Amino acid sequence: MDLCDYKEIQTLLGATDGFRFSKAKGQNFLTARWVPERIAEEAGLDRSSGVVEIGPGVGCLTEQLALRAGKVLSFEVDERLKPVLARTLAPYDNIEVVFGDVMERDLAAEIAASLPGLRPALCANLPYNITTPVLTKIYESRCFETVTVMVQKEVAERLCAAPGQKDYGAFTLLTQWYAAPELLFTVGPECFMPRPKVTSAVVRMTMREKPPFDTDERTLFRIVRAAFNQRRKTLVNALDGVCGKEKARAAIVACGFPETIRGEALSLAD
């Protein structure tokens, strides 16, 4: 069975009582075979890997992961896909599909129970509507060695942006606190059904075992949020509500930056 074949997918879904794609669940399924193959390949898996997938759809990426990893644990919120996945993934004995909302699951506990002894990786074509909350959850779980995900190109650029670039923001810095991200390749709308309006991109993140700097995380992110909430303001003005302008000015100058600098010009290390 070719799980990326448009007609095959229609037939599989048609058998489930007139399936309609759910926009709210970010259902854009891949129809270009090279894409799940390349995503799975770039994830750098081997038989010692235990892969968590979010949103298998009809299972086109799931099977590519199963062909390479020790085991795949896949979370799908849409119960209508139960009979479809039971059929499409039947040839593989190293896939466990859990039906439920991934946002409500304890990832560390699920990994300990279902992927013991394996090196945890995450690989998914993420539902676009929950990209930021699900990535935050993935980061904060601190469970994974690598995270390879397809997201909207605009989001991918935000994750990987450098200081001064237009996409550089608070979420860039949160990402870099937890990971070293790398934009690998883009995927056009013609590779999905239904076709999304935007281009997608695949990002691979090498997760850090511990934060890159020894500093107080809560204070750091209070400063980051304040700096980017009002990104057109100078950092001195943006930090007024955090510590007062005078203290902010003194600290910025003591670090060797001009007092007119904006937050968006500074790196995480700065």
User: In whole angstroms, how close is the CB of 61 to ligand SAM at the nearest point?
Assistant: 5
Smaller CB separation from ligand SAM, 131 or 175: 131
User: In whole angstroms, how close is the CB of 53 to ligand SAM at the nearest point?
Assistant: 7
Smaller CB separation from ligand SAM, 200 or 234: 200
Helix axes 170-178, 153-160, angle to 10 degrees: 70
User: In whole angstroms, how close is the CB of 43 to ligand SAM at the nearest point?
Assistant: 13
User: In whole angstroms, how close is the CB of 18 to ligand SAM at the nearest point?
Assistant: 17
d(CA 187, CA 191): 7
User: In whole angstroms, how close is the CB of 253 to ligand SAM at the nearest point?
Assistant: 46
User: In whole angstroms, how close is the CB of 94 to ligand SAM at the nearest point?
Assistant: 17
d(CA 101, CA 239): 38
Calculate ∠ Cα 8-127-180, nearest 5°: 120
Which of 208, 64, 178, 197 lies closest to 125, judged by CA?
64
Smaller CB separation from ligand SAM, 89 or 227: 89
Smaller CB separation from ligand SAM, 67 or 255: 67
Please check whether residue 168 is in contact with residue 112, taking contact to mean a CB–CB distance below 8 angstroms.
no
DSSP state for residue 18 in the 8-state scheme: S
Smaller CB separation from ligand SAM, 99 or 213: 99
Smaller CB separation from ligand SAM, 65 or 161: 65
Pairing between strand 71-76 and 49-54?
parallel
Please check whether residue 89 is in contact with residue 95, taking contact to mean a CB–CB distance below 8 angstroms.
yes
Smaller CB separation from ligand SAM, 30 or 235: 30
User: In whole angstroms, how close is the CB of 134 to ligand SAM at the nearest point?
Assistant: 7
Q: Interface residues with ligand SAM (CB under 6 A)? A: 25-30, 54-57, 60-61, 75-78, 101-103, 125, 127, 130
Please check whether residue 182 is in contact with residue 203, taking contact to mean a CB–CB distance below 8 angstroms.
yes
Q: Which residue is nearest to ligand SAM (CB)?
A: 55
The most distant pair of C-alpha atoms in the chain lies apart, rounded to whole Å, by 67
Q: What is the DSSP string of 45-102?
A: --TTEEEEEE--TTSHHHHHHHHHSSEEEEEE--GGGHHHHHHHTTT-SSEEEEES-G
